Structures are given as structure tokens and as C-alpha cells.
A = this chain, B = another copy of it.
């Protein structure tokens, strides 16, 4: 058995960053910039007024100074003439500054009679002019990789980058395995349960930017597993859930090996999630997750999400653990790193009593996994522990 860190390192070696595709800027939010982009224009493209007021030459700006209004400049409508001494142009926010003017007296500091204005207040030194290119200029770069946030989308739009190069979404195929499973909405028999792990994993990995293909449930037969693996063709990452242990009905490993799996490792020194299997299978990475729901979803957080992030070109993470004070004492840990379901609020963390790896209700009530190192001794209430936010 290997450690969690070693397992993650080996899993990350199984995947590489995907190719770059172009998408419209309106669809680029939440995607990862796949190549550097550079502005092909200046913003603003001209010196522009930042206020509503009167454009004049700064040399003439003083209280009681009078100007004749010779025209108007609005956003999108430049004043085509030139401002001479004693002249002003009525100007609005965002409008290009007219030639000959370098100062905007705000309208609140002026009295106007017909075509003449008088400065009535002592103007400040602020010119109320935005220089051309103050936001960005031709060649200003936005560097890849970068998870594109709302402000980035606005910036790309302003740069007129209508088609944005982004890393292709990695394709993850999910295969639930087990004779006992039926799909939500079906009427389960008395010995059946509803497939749930793949639904949770799908939500998790889609939110991280993967394209998730949910394949039909594979039964505990070689033929059914072969069908499912066949349907996974073209995926970057094939994930099975269940059937990866060593029980007589655990056929994932033998079938995957018959189909060419080069196993990287099997079993991790952790709870939950010990019987995890991984390798390369043709052009895809393959991960066999344990079938208990909490095991599968915790392994999703710890391993699949970093793999998706690596395929997107992002720092794979996981983010560094945070710290909180235990709300109640906790016994010593065993030999495996333990990721305990917990709820953290206002810096205090409560570890749930029942850590059985089948309990989705407990996982759904959790917002943290307390990370207990191997052989961590008993801890008292108030002791600080590390946790991962989930």
C-alpha cells in the first residue's frame, strides 16, 4: 500500500493537459485559458472623459473663468473640431476628448447661460481625463493557464477576443458496477439499491470543468464490463465504481487487464478508499474506485478532482488544508491516513460519530474532511486539526 500523496502523484502521472480549442467569449466563463492572449487594441482607444462636464484646456482652468461652448462630445460621438483658448466642448462620460482640450470641468462646478459657462467653484487638480490605453494597450497579455472568472470574461470581451482559446474539457466516463444497482426512478427489487455514486461524482467533476459521460451500469459479469469499457472509448479518464476489490465478484481488475490495463498501483493506505486501483488503459487513464458511496466521493475529492485540474492545465491541488479546533475529543487513529467526515463552523470542527463509509447522509451533512495522519494520537477538545473543505 502507498500513501495518499504517493497515490496522487502516480495518478497525476497518468494524465496530461488536454488540447486547446476556441469557444465564444460568452461561453468561456469557468473554462481554463489554454494559450496566452494579447489585446489587439488600446482601452480606452482614445483619451476619454471620466465625468459629465466641459472639456477645456487646463491652462485656463480657474474660478470665474468663462468659456464659449462650441460643440458636444458624447460616448461614441467625437467632437470633430479643435478647442481654442476661451472655448469649451460639452462632454459626457466616456466621450473622446476633443483636440486642444486636456481637462474636464465637472458640470457641478459650472454655471451655464446659453452658450457660455462660468467656473463657479475652485476646480481640483484632477483632470477627469482617462489617458488612452490606461486599462490595456495593444500587446497586453492575459497568461495561460487561468481559470476564467467573470472579470476575466469582461476583460476578454473588452479586448475584443471574441473567440477564446481554452483547454478542451477532459472527458470522464463513469461506470457504476454491480448486480444490485438500478437507476434512479426505477422500482428497485428487495435486494437492490439505487446507483448514487456516479451521480455524485458527475456533479463534482462537471463543476470542476469536466465533460462527464455517464455510462450504463455494468453488471458483475465479464461481458457486461467489456461492454461498458467499450462504451468508454474516447474518454480521457475512465472511472469505475465498485467491483475493484478482490471478492469473487470483483471483475473490474481482471477485465481491465484483459483489455490492456497497465496497472500503476492498487490500494492506498487510507480510510476510506483503500481498495483504489489505477493505471493506463489504451489512450485513457483508468481509476477503479471502491463502491462504498463515501469512499467513492472522498476519492473523487482527493484524486479525481486533481486529475481533472491537471488535464485542464491548472495546479492540480488539492488546496492546502485549513485548521480548526476540535469541538469534542477524538480517539487515536490507526495505521491508515483517515479522512473523517466533519462539519466546521466559525473555526470549530465537529467530527461525526459514525464514520462508516456507506453513510451518504453523513457525507451530505459534512463540509470538511478532517485529515488524521497514521497513528495520530487521541486529541482533546480544542486541539487544532487539519481539514479539507469539501
Please report A residues at the B interface, Cβ cutoff 8 Å: 25-26, 29-30, 41, 43-46, 50, 52, 74-78, 90, 92-94, 96, 130, 134-136, 140, 142, 148-163, 178-181, 184-186, 188, 190-197, 199-204, 206-207, 214, 220, 245-249, 291-293, 297, 300, 354, 356, 358-361, 363-364, 366, 390
How distant is the Cα of A134 from the Cα of B248 in the complex, in angstroms?
Answer: 26
Contact A46 B190 (CB under 8 A): yes
Contact B207 A29 (CB under 8 A): yes
- Shortest A204–chain B CB gap in Å is 4
How distant is the Cα of A180 from the Cα of B45 in the complex, in angstroms?
Answer: 12
How distant is the Cα of A179 from the Cα of B188 in the complex, in angstroms?
Answer: 61
A30's nearest neighbour on chain B, judged by CB, is: B207
Which of B45, B93, B160, B354 is close to A247, meaning CB atoms less than 8 Å apart? Answer: B93
A341's nearest neighbour on chain B, judged by CB, is: B151
Contacts of A185 in B (CB 8 A): 160, 162-163
Contact B44 A358 (CB under 8 A): yes
Cross-chain pairs A/B with CB under 8 angstroms, 18 sampled: A43-B360, A75-B249, A77-B179, A77-B191, A94-B291, A135-B361, A136-B360, A150-B297, A150-B300, A151-B200, A151-B297, A153-B203, A154-B200, A154-B293, A155-B200, A157-B195, A157-B196, A157-B200
How distant is the Cα of A360 from the Cα of B179 in the complex, in angstroms?
Answer: 55
When all copies of this chain in the complex are counted, the total is 2
Contact A29 B203 (CB under 8 A): yes
Contact A196 B46 (CB under 8 A): no
Q: A359-B134, A364-B152, A366-B151 are in contact. Are A180 and B245 (CB under 8 A)?
A: no
Seed contacts A75-B249, A94-B178, A154-B203; 10 additional CB < 8 Å A-B pairs: A46-B190, A76-B180, A76-B192, A78-B191, A93-B291, A154-B200, A154-B201, A155-B200, A155-B364, A158-B196
Contact A363 B151 (CB under 8 A): yes
Closest 5 CB pairs of A and B: A154-B200, A76-B180, A162-B185, A29-B203, A76-B179
Tell me the dominant secondary structure on chain A's binding face: loop
A189's nearest neighbour on chain B, judged by CB, is: B76
How distant is the Cα of A199 from the Cα of B354 in the complex, in angstroms?
Answer: 46
Which of B29, B45, B188, B361 is close to A193, meaning CB atoms less than 8 Å apart? Answer: B45
Contact B46 A249 (CB under 8 A): no
Contacts of A153 in B (CB 8 A): 199-200, 202-203
Q: A150-B201, A207-B30, A364-B151 are in contact. Are A220 and B74 (CB under 8 A)?
A: yes
Contact B206 A29 (CB under 8 A): yes
Contacts of A130 in B (CB 8 A): 356, 358
Contact A140 B76 (CB under 8 A): no
Which of B94, B140, B150, B178 is close to A207, meaning CB atoms less than 8 Å apart? Answer: B150
Contacts of A90 in B (CB 8 A): 248
Contacts of A196 in B (CB 8 A): 154-155, 157-158
- Shortest A46–chain B CB gap in Å is 7
Which of B52, B76, B136, B354 is close to A246, meaning CB atoms less than 8 Å apart? Answer: B52
Which of B74, B178, B179 is close to A179, meaning CB atoms less than 8 Å apart? Answer: B74
How distant is the Cα of A25 from the Cα of B206 in the complex, in angstroms?
Answer: 14
How distant is the Cα of A207 from the Cα of B149 in the complex, in angstroms?
Answer: 10
Contact A191 B150 (CB under 8 A): no
- Shortest A224–chain B CB gap in Å is 13
Contacts of A26 in B (CB 8 A): 184, 199, 202, 214
